[in-house]
Amino acid sequence: MNNLCVAHRGFSGKAPENTRAAIQMAMDEPFVEWLEIDVQMTRDGVPVVIHDFSVDRTTTGRGKVKDLTWQEIRKMDAGIWKGRQFAGEQIPSLDEVLQLVKGRLKVNIELKTSGNMYPGLEEKVLACVETHDMLSDIVLTSFEPKALVTAKKLEPKVRTGLIIDSHPRNLLSRLKRMKCTFLSIGYSHLDAAFAADLVKNGITPMAWTVDDPKVMRSLARMNPVIMICTNRPDTWGQIFMSKLGQKISFWRRIWRGWA
């Protein structure tokens, strides 16, 4: 299937982002092949899945992730802000997420860092990936080029990709210098010519964050290789799956509810 669906922080349009609930909901859609998550590190060195540098927005706790221990973070409710039905959801560790999705989803792991905010993050993340034998099933991405360079030095075989919300003229040459084979880019900065150039040079483009059906269709017309990162995998399914595929998806969800 073309224009692969990437669940942004899980099925974050319906469930609390970067939680087991959101990830499980994404997995319940059989056409979702990729998951995008954000990884930071606790004060005591545990890679955890959360987007903001602070826990304030998405949990009942307060403070910066880097200043909190794993046990402190585990006591926070990371679901109630999205709805009472999600009360009790926790911030998961990267280890827990990889254990949950192994064999079902490939994972775009964003190294959520800036400068030297998290010394050793790349090494810890790679060690976790290696533990689950998922090196071929992940890509490491980041806004921070240094993190990608460090990861590539630690593990030359790891696939890496820059995240950017612009399109500078030297972008392709930058990606080549960094040995990136993936580009995560704000969708408004993609066009057909640039997408074709990326693909020609062995770089897979992923457009984010796309919830509008018109934009999804526009990206699909540009190039079938463009991956579509969305908060609403269900919208992706309505556009790209056949009616038969939608029926199969529906009955699979019903069956899983019985099992």
Select from 62, 85, 88 the least CA-distant residue to 77.
88
Q: Which of 51, 132, 167, 189 is catalytic?
A: 51
Check if 189 is active-site: no
Residue 175, φ and ψ in degrees, nearest 5:
-60, -40
Q: Which residues pair with 130 in a beta bridge?
A: none
Chain centre distance of CA 216: 18
Residue 257: C-alpha distances to residues 26, 35, 250, 253, 254 (Å): 15, 22, 11, 6, 5
Select from 65, 69, 60 the least CA-distant residue to 88.
60
- 165 half-sphere exposure, CB direction, 13 A CA radius: 3
Cβ–Cβ < 8 Å for 161, 145: no
H helical segments located in the chain: 20-27, 70-74, 94-101, 121-131, 145-154, 171-177, 192-200, 213-222, 233-240, 243-258
Select from 186, 212, 163 the least CA-distant residue to 37.
163
Q: Which residues contact 130 (CB under 8 A, 6 or more apart)?
A: none
DSSP state of 64: B
CA distance 164 to 148: 13
Check if 51 is active-site: yes
Instruction: List, by residue number, the catalytic residues.
Output: 8, 51
